[in-house]
Amino acid sequence: MTERRETGRTRQDKPGSRPQKTRTGAVKNSPDQARKKPAPSPRTLAEPDWSEGERIAKYLARAGVASRREVERMIEAGDVIVNGVKLTSPAFKVTGRETIKVGRKVVSAPEPTRLWRYHKPSGLISTNLDPEGRRTIFDEFPKSLPRVVTVGRLDLTTEGLLLLTNDGELARALELPKNALERTYRVRAQGTVTDFKIADLAAGMTVDGVDYAPITAVFDRENGANSWLTVTLTEGKKREVRRALEAVNLMVNRLIRINYGPFELGELRPGAVEEVPAELMLEAVGHMISDANKPLGEAPKRAAPAAKSRLGTRPGSTRLVDRKRRPKK
Active site residues: 155
Which regions of the chain carry the CATH code 3.10.290.10?
54-106
Give phi and psi for 298, each to the nearest 5. -70, 150
The reported pTM is 0.68
Rounded Cα distance, 65 and 117, in Å = 19
Rounded Cα distance, 290 and 264, in Å = 23
Of 137, 158, 165, 161, nearest to 262 by C-alpha is 161
- Angstrom CA distances, 206 to 82, 176, 212, 213, stand at 45, 20, 6, 9
Per-residue pLDDT of the chain (329 residues; tens, 9 = 90+): 444 444 444 444 445 555 554 444 444 454 454 454 444 433 333 444 445 678 888 888 888 788 788 888 888 888 899 988 888 888 888 888 888 888 888 887 788 999 999 999 999 999 887 888 899 999 999 989 988 999 999 999 999 999 999 998 899 899 988 898 999 999 999 999 999 999 999 999 999 999 999 999 999 999 889 999 999 999 888 899 999 999 999 999 999 999 999 999 999 999 999 999 999 999 999 999 988 888 875 444 444 444 443 333 333 333 333 333 344 44
Tell how many helices (H) and how many strands (E) occur in the chain.
8, 19
CATH of domain 54-106: 3.10.290.10
Say whether domain 115-293 belongs to CATH 3.30.2350.10: yes
Of 58, 36, 15, 104, nearest to 293 by C-alpha is 58
CA quadruple 170, 99, 88, 127: dihedral sign: positive
Give phi and psi for 322, each to the nearest 5. -70, 130
Which regions of the chain carry the CATH code 3.30.2350.10?
115-293
Rounded Cα distance, 324 and 329, in Å = 15
